[in-house]
Amino acid sequence: MALVSASALLFTGCGDSGPGGGTDGETETGSMEESTTAGEGTGGSTGAATTEDGTGGQGGTGGTGADTDDGTDTDDTGAGDGCPADVFLDLSSAPGAGDAYPDPVLEVECVDDKLLVHSNGIPHYRFIPITPNALVEQDFNWEITLNPEVAPEPTDIPLLGLVGFTVNGLPFFGANEGPQPADEAFGDPIYNQIMDECLGHTAFSYHYHALVERCLIQAGVVDEPWSNPAPPQGEPSPILAFAYDGFPIYGARGCLDEGCAEVVEYKSSWVQIDDPTQNAWDAYEYQASDAPEQLDRCNGHYGPKGDYHYHATAGFPYIIGCFAGTPGEGVGGDGGGGGMELPQCEPGQTMCCGDDVCDGPETADNCPADC
């Protein structure tokens, strides 16, 4: 058993494919100014994290079993070689969500062949309400394999709920909303501009639907990371997150060759064919491409060193489109990965498990206490 020192990995802040899967059920409204995703910034990671060229920063690997490309990129970082704890952010000096909220907590360790992550779900930066749902402290406990393998066939991500988690200890969901508001049911939340500056918002918990690199690097552990300068575009992106199949997710930029002589912005191969205000997965179509910067159906590819990994992209599905590997237990649901208790009613929160009222987007699946 390989146990990483908990004292070295306890990071506590000082301020506070169309409808047909998943069990989250969100009620989220509001507006978003920034609709770009990862691909902006690589600096300031903590420890000896790795970028796609295998040097300092943050790094990762990811991909899918179908429609993968043939290894024309250098985004691999060796995240599968040992414990990738050093790609997670040090939140010891984080300003936190605000005075009204608990300090952010992030704990990471590796035990045997598993990566274990505990988080209280509080952002390390200022919380700006976008939806009617309150920011509530969580008890997230996630467990993924350290040795992911590309499966013979990809697995659909859940329609709602947990798909993976970011290096600051927050969950990310797929590229669609829940059934509320009704006029945007299951729509694309990025297109509908209902995200904050880091492309997150609250339902049961604060979560992302897309990733902004400057919010997920060590230099972004500030009150307003979205105000930081964009990172150098000629440098490969670090690891920003891990999918629940164990594969890491880089920002948009990566090396096109093993020597990293050329850095490109990797792009989604999903194309908009209809209005994504509702039913986002019906509004985009995957169109395979041989272009070296285009990704596969799951938004991943094999890098020049032969590793498989995902990229967060500016276009739909923004993070991943399917699981290239085999997801662990706990995907979907409320974001807790099987280790979270549903929150009780909070002022202003529309999904209130425990108030004996089955209303709004609550169902027997996402709120059994009420329904």
Residue 172 pLDDT > 80: yes
Q: Taking Cα atoms as reference points, which of 83, 26, 98 lies closest to residue 49?
A: 83
Q: Return d(Cα 131, Cα 91) in angstroms, integer.
A: 25
**Per-residue model confidence (pLDDT) at position 330:** 85
Cα–chain-centroid distance for residue 43? 19
Going by pLDDT thresholds of 50, 70 and 90, the confidence category of residue 48 is very low
Question: What pLDDT does residue 82 have?
Answer: 83
Query: Which are the contacts of 48, defined by CB distance < 8 A and separation ≥ 6?
Result: 56, 86
235-267: pLDDT as tens digits: 999 999 999 999 999 999 999 999 999 999 999
Mapped onto helix, strand or coil, the DSSP state of residue 86 is helix
Q: Tell me the C-alpha distance between 205 and 199, whole Å.
A: 14
Tell me, what's the pLDDT at 266? 98
pLDDT band with cut points at 50, 70 and 90 for residue 178? confident
Q: Taking the CB of residue 223, how many other CB atoms lie within 10 A of it?
A: 14
Model confidence at 49: pLDDT above 50: no
Contact yes or no for 342/363 (Cβ under 8 A): no
Q: What's the average model confidence in pLDDT over 72-98? A: 76
Residue-wise pLDDT for 253-308, tens only, equals: 999 999 999 999 999 999 999 999 999 999 999 999 999 999 999 999 999 999 99
Q: Which long-range contacts (CB under 8 A, 24 or more apart) does 231-234 make?
A: 231/40, 231/41, 231/42, 231/43, 232/41, 232/42, 232/43, 233/263, 233/265, 234/263
Question: Counting beta carbons within 10 angstroms of the beta carbon of residue 272, is it exposed (0 to 12), middle (13 to 18) or buried (19 or more)?
Answer: middle
How much is the average pLDDT of 339-365?
56
- pTM for the whole thing? 0.75
Structural tokens at position 250: 């880089």
Instruction: Write out the two tokens for 219.
Output: 């230099």
Q: What is the pLDDT of residue 206?
A: 96
Residue-wise burial string across 5-24, b where 16 or more C-beta atoms lie within 10 A, e elsewhere: eeeebebbbebbbebeebbb
pLDDT tens profile 141-155: 999 999 999 999 999
Q: How many CB atoms lie within 10 A of CB 356?
A: 9
Q: Give the residue from 359, 296, 304, 353 showing the smallest Cα distance to 323.
A: 296
